[in-house]
Amino acid sequence: MTTTILIMSWDEAHLLRHSLPRATAEEAHVVVIDNACTDDTARIIAEHGAERLHLAERLSYCEALNRAMGQTGGEAVLLLNADCFLEPGFLSAALPHLEDRTVGSVAPRLLRTLGPSAEDRLDAIDAAGLAVDRRRKNTLVGHGRPALAYDRPGEAFGADGAAALYRRATLEHCALDGELFDPDMERWASDVDVAWRARTLGWRCVYEPLSMAYHVRTYSPSTRGRMPARDRRMQFRNRYLMMVKNDTRGALARDLPALVAYELGALAYILAFERELLGGYRDAARLLGRARSRRRQLGDRRRVAGSPPAPLGLEPAP
């Protein structure tokens, strides 16, 4: 199966210097998205023989990946962050799962690290896939657990965007208005949105622990307090956009007590401690019309495919 590795760089030459050689060591065509970088990104790409996709104007994460998806090939696509360092054999462990035509994506075992060197590595799981619970909160499965945990393959809700292997046919099936990633979401939780959409359309995700990488996590339960208010507000509003686009009436009715309790608790917390998040409600309302339009498209596509509603909260066994 021909495979393309897509790596995004936002003036991340210092990370790309370490992650790119590990990517080019895999049996794949490697493309680096130079997102209007002003550092040494172009030189490092040339040094390692990867293809450079140069964007003259800086785009959001979602816009840049949409552009790259339309200009690259490969039957399988590994979406990779510059701060994610593949371990040898990453693709050889993951790709066999795509031989099952019902599998649309593979989630690797991501391990935590503070930087690219061996001394920076932590004895902890970064993510063993993604999950969405009945409160519609997305979580990193296993985050903070010992590195040797989650050592068995299994079904997962989706793959974390730091390193997510997809069947290209799945990504094309999930595109709405010709766009895989919702530009309105900009960045945070856009990977969860795609994973939810893929499951809605009947695609499975498999967790493979032998496919490993080390990742410097920017936004996580352990780092959230250090994130700028704009990023926290974006993550907050994107949860509502995901719900509008992907949720079903039946699932909402089933989980309504847990959902209402969470919303009331969240509002009380915001009023007491994080009032800067109140703008997230306004931002979600402003984007509601386009989210509903995408929901209608997804509903039409699901009816054509005959796929059942996607289950929430699916996690691989630890």
Percent of the chain beyond pLDDT 70? 93
**193 and 67, same domain (yes or no):** yes
**249 and 142, same domain (yes or no):** no
Residues in the chain: 318
**211 and 237, same domain (yes or no):** no
Residue 313 counted as domain residue: no
**233 and 166, same domain (yes or no):** no
Residue 269 CA from chain centroid, whole number: 27
**197 and 232, same domain (yes or no):** no
Residue 160 counted as domain residue: yes
- Quote the CA–CA distance of 18 and 286 in Å, as a whole number: 40
**110 and 174, same domain (yes or no):** yes
Residue 17's pLDDT is 95
Residue 122's pLDDT is 94
Q: Which residues of the chain have pLDDT under 70?
A: 219-225, 303-315, 317-318
Residue 285's pLDDT is 93
Q: What's the structural domain count of the chain?
A: 2
| pTM, rounded to two decimals | 0.90
Range of the domain at 48: 3-215
Domain boundary among 215, 249, 278: 215
**139 and 287, same domain (yes or no):** no
Residue 141 counted as domain residue: yes
Residue 282's pLDDT is 92
**158 and 296, same domain (yes or no):** no
Residue 311's pLDDT is 61
What are residue 132's DSSP bridge partners?
A: 138
**15 and 80, same domain (yes or no):** yes
Residue 285 counted as domain residue: yes
CATH number assigned to the domain comprising residue 34? 3.90.550.10
**111 and 193, same domain (yes or no):** yes
Residue 231 counted as domain residue: yes
**164 and 110, same domain (yes or no):** yes
Domain boundary among 215, 247, 274: 215
Residue 127 counted as domain residue: yes
Domain boundary among 190, 215, 240: 215
Residue 230's pLDDT is 80
Residue 219's pLDDT is 65
Residue 109 counted as domain residue: yes
**19 and 74, same domain (yes or no):** yes
Residue 312 counted as domain residue: no
CA separation, residue 306 to residues 79, 200, 298 (Å) = 28, 10, 12
In this structure, are strands 138-140 and 163-167 parallel, antiparallel, or unpaired?
unpaired
